[in-house]
Amino acid sequence: MVEFDAFGPEKIIEVYNPKVGMKGYAILDNMALGPAKGGIRMTPTVSMDEVAKLARTMTWKNALAGLPFGGGKSGIIANPKEFSPEKKKEIIEAFAKALKIICPNLYVAAPDINTAEQEMEWFAKANGNKKSCTGKPKKMGGIPHELGSTGFGVTHATFVALKHMKKNVKGATFAVEGFGNVGTFAAKFMTEAGAKLVAVSDSQGCIFLERGMDYEKLMKIKEETGSVINYPGTAGSCHNIIGVKADILITAAIPDLIRPGDVDKVKAKLIVEGSNIPMTEQVEIMLHKKNILVVPDFVANAGGVISSYVEYIGGDEKRMFKLVEEKIKKNTDLVLSSAKKNKIHPRAAAMEIAQKRVLSKCDVCAVKF
């Protein structure tokens, strides 16, 4: 059941098209800073409660990133594996037409689970407005996430955190959990800056090499064999990445990676959350007490939504990389400085900053600061 609080959600829209069998939701959590922004998730189990929680996450992510967007999310209840691409197109188009009442003035869509560039093209055309969504193909003015905007931002969050720790990126050792879009680019940009990649994992397992890995060779092996575990080194289970000996651990895949029972296994002194919810706030606090610095997900991995904003305003790839670097560096520094000054853990500091930004513009919120 959706929980309402002092911030929202402001609007909940449930849509249904019996002719094509489309059923879904759009939740506009808080629009104090601008139109609600968030992706379209298409799964057979997506619920209104799930969409509401994701929309709230987007409220804080957009606020912390300093973007003129509120938080939103939408979901379509469907299993695309069970029907043809033509049927999927029909459902996406029906959803886009149903959301004309809010897109793009109140809600700007984007890709999420089981939706990507093709689906955004269908959505924009059926909606009748290119600004109704981001994540469109390049031919429609889109900025592909395959350029590595999220991983690029995660890297700059890492640079700022290392500076706060008075450590140099050159020679620093790091591990990357997950070798998809975020993990590959984080590894690329970190190694280019002089850091040494000593461990990496994917869905098949984890590989460790104390002397460091060659990024180009690793990418080639991943592409040719399908897994990083075929790189020469010491192999282990996926979960082993948590306890590897490295200065930095970058999470870039699954949620709930680090659980309370794993805290004592962590050897890294810096964890940068490139993935969403790789641990609970409780675990972050436990790590904080052990003097392990954790850069929260909605601070570190905002490169994707910043890239979406640049697409939304008609910017190009060059402007995207420039803005991602500027905003991620500025906000990571702000969060870590605030955490140190107020003697609180980074997530608490980030939430305080995000909430103040929302409240400063909010006419419907039930609390003030």
Q: Which CATH number fits domain 11-142: 3.30.260.10, 3.30.470.20, 3.30.70.260, 3.40.50.10860?
A: 3.40.50.10860
Tell me the domain boundaries of the chain: 11-142, 149-327
Q: What is the model's pLDDT at position 367?
A: 78
Q: Give the separation between CA 229 and CA 239, rounded to whole angstroms.
A: 13
**In whole angstroms, what is the distance from residue 356 CA to residue 63 CA?**
9
pTM to 2 decimal places: 0.93
Strands (E), 10-115: 11-17, 22-30, 36-37, 40-43, 70-77, 107-108
Domains 11-142 and 149-327 share a fold: yes
User: How many residues in total does the chain contain?
Assistant: 369
CA distance 306 to 320: 7
Distance in angstroms (rounded) separating the CA atoms of residues 343 and 161: 16
d(CA 43, CA 45): 5
| pLDDT of 274 | 97
Active site residues: 73
What pLDDT, on a 0 to 100 scale, did the predictor assign at position 369?
Answer: 62
- The answer to whether residues 50 and 58 touch, using CB atoms and an 8 Å cutoff, is no
pLDDT tens-digit map of 58-73: 999 999 999 999 999 9
Q: Collapsing DSSP states into helix, strand and coil, what is residue 32?
A: coil
- Are 112 and 43 in contact by the 8 Å Cβ rule? The answer is no
Chunked into runs of 10 residues, the chain (369 residues) has average pLDDT values of 94 97 98 97 96 95 97 97 95 98 97 94 97 96 89 98 98 97 96 98 96 97 96 94 97 95 97 95 98 97 96 96 97 98 97 96 84
Which CATH superfamily groups domain 149-327?
NAD(P)-binding Rossmann-like Domain (3.40.50.720)
pLDDT recorded at residue 1: 85
- Helix or strand (DSSP H, E) at 317: helix 317-342
The separation between the first and the last C-alpha atoms of the chain, rounded to the nearest angstrom, is 28
How many Cα atoms sit within 13 Å of 273 on the Cβ side? 25
pLDDT number for residue 145: 77
